Amino acid sequence: MTFQAPKGVPEFWPPRSATLTAVRTAFADAAERAGYGYIEVPVFEETQLFARGVGESTDVVSKEMYTFEDRGGRSLTLRPEFTAGVLRSVLEHNLHTGQLPVKLWTTGPAFRYERPQAGRYRQFQQFDLEAIGTEDPTVDAETIAIAWDGYQALGLSRVRLLLNTLGCKECRPLYRAALQDFLRALDLDEATRQRAEINPLRVLDDKRPEVRAKVDAAPLITDHLCASCKAHHDQVRELLADLSIPWEDTPRLVRGLDYYTRTTYEFDHPMLGAQSGIGGGGRYDGLSEDIGGPPLPGIGFAVGVDRIILAVEAEHGPGAAGQARCEVYGVPLGERAARAVFGLVTELRRAGVAADMAFGGKGLKGAMKGADRSGAAFAVILGERDLAAGSAQVKTLETGEQSEVPLTEIVMKLKERLGK
């Protein structure tokens, strides 16, 4: 009997996994430079946290959660997203009683029971960033700038930023009512009618052309904003302009999670086909209260690491992030030499040189093939006679040129030739 990974779960192995780590590093570096610290949160939480945080009527909660009962009879759910868990942790450990905003990032798998297809998985990797405890629109712009810099660091030149606002608890209900009036007057199918009653904003997000055409003249949130939401939105846009970050105003943009207020945004990559969303975020000023906390505004984003890998490959070809580099490759001939080469390779690694060697008593030919494949600049060949003479042969793999170097000097000489 053989086993396979569960359906809809992508796996990553070398060399492609280097792109995965490069994506995480690009966003983590951008976040750390901006004063965000790493938080480790659980992969599963109490089911109610997501039901109340993300919203019962969302697809994520009503259809897509991996929920199970543990042996103690508790209902637990594998996280379908990070924000609710991060905020729960901040509140539980009183991080919000110190300096605000609390700036945090995290990364890892999230789980949604979706129909698997290219770019849509049941276990997918996100990088998540949250700034909790301020309403300052500068922080909205800061989160966008960090995501933008992450994409830029990966060489993604075709990312589009779609920007909207969803208003606040003052103006959104008025807009919602106006939108509902408009939708009730349309000839819509039963399921869409029901959606218009429960969550009318979601109807604007319908991908079917016939529905799109009908809602074309729907009222827009941007025409119904209260003065403070309008001022907030204008400030975010001015700040983005100051930073030369291009965006597209998209007044129909709504997001799949219920907690968003005011600033909302998505990042899109045009080469990815149907699953083109490579990140999304926004404000969630009411979420803390929804999950039993004090009033505490917040904003954050999650980017989809799996899809960003596809975008990097689409723009730059597979393997663009490069393999794990090897600089020096050890070629031992005989058992005693293998022991000495292992010692040398370890010494090189400790001196900051990426080094590997041939294992398993390979002959010269097989071991040299390994050296070529490794991408190393130098091979260190050591036979019985070299060992007796206290030296090794250092071969420059590109030119084939070879010279004898005393073992006592070899680490220093190799570092020198590698420019270290």
CA dihedral 261, 304, 130, 159 (to 10 degrees): -70
For the CA atoms of the chain, what is the radius of gyration? 27
Q: How far is the CB of 78 from ligand AMP (least distance, A)?
A: 13
Give the integer Cα–Cα distance in Å for 299 and 261. 9
Closest-CA residue to 282 (of 294, 298, 295, 267): 298
User: How many residues appear in the chain?
Assistant: 420
Nearer to ligand AMP, 31 or 303 (CB): 303
Nearer to ligand AMP, 302 or 357 (CB): 302
Give the integer Cα–Cα distance in Å for 282 and 301. 6
Q: How far is the CB of 118 from ligand AMP (least distance, A)?
A: 10
- Give the CB-nearest residue to ligand AMP: 304
Give the integer Cα–Cα distance in Å for 291 and 334. 66
Nearer to ligand AMP, 214 or 255 (CB): 255
Nearer to ligand AMP, 287 or 411 (CB): 287
User: Residue 272: left if φ>0, alpha if ψ -120 to 50, beta else—which one?
Assistant: alpha
Give the integer Cα–Cα distance in Å for 31 and 28. 5
Write out the two tokens for 300: 């954050």
Q: How far is the CB of 303 from ligand AMP (least distance, A)?
A: 6
Give the integer Cα–Cα distance in Å for 121 and 108. 14
Give the integer Cα–Cα distance in Å for 333 and 363. 7
Nearer to ligand AMP, 56 or 189 (CB): 56
The DSSP symbol for 144 reads H
Q: How far is the CB of 204 from ligand AMP (least distance, A)?
A: 16
3-state SS, residue 343:
helix
The count of other CB atoms within 10 Å of the CB of residue 294 is 9
Give the angle subtended at the CA of 231 by the CAs of 228 and 236, to the nearest 5°. 125
Give the integer Cα–Cα distance in Å for 300 and 104. 9
Q: How far is the CB of 349 from ligand AMP (least distance, A)?
A: 36
The count of other CB atoms within 10 Å of the CB of residue 402 is 11
Nearer to ligand AMP, 119 or 330 (CB): 119
Nearer to ligand AMP, 270 or 406 (CB): 270
Asked if residues 225 and 237 have their Cβ atoms less than 8 Å apart, the reply is no
3-state SS, residue 257:
coil
Nearer to ligand AMP, 45 or 81 (CB): 81
Give the integer Cα–Cα distance in Å for 156 and 292. 40
Q: How far is the CB of 182 from ligand AMP (least distance, A)?
A: 26
Q: How far is the CB of 114 from ligand AMP (least distance, A)?
A: 5
Q: How far is the CB of 302 from ligand AMP (least distance, A)?
A: 4
Nearer to ligand AMP, 303 or 405 (CB): 303
Q: How far is the CB of 304 from ligand AMP (least distance, A)?
A: 2
Q: Under the rule (CB under 6 A), what is the footprint of ligand AMP? A: 81, 112, 114, 119-121, 124, 126, 255-256, 277-280, 302-304, 306-307
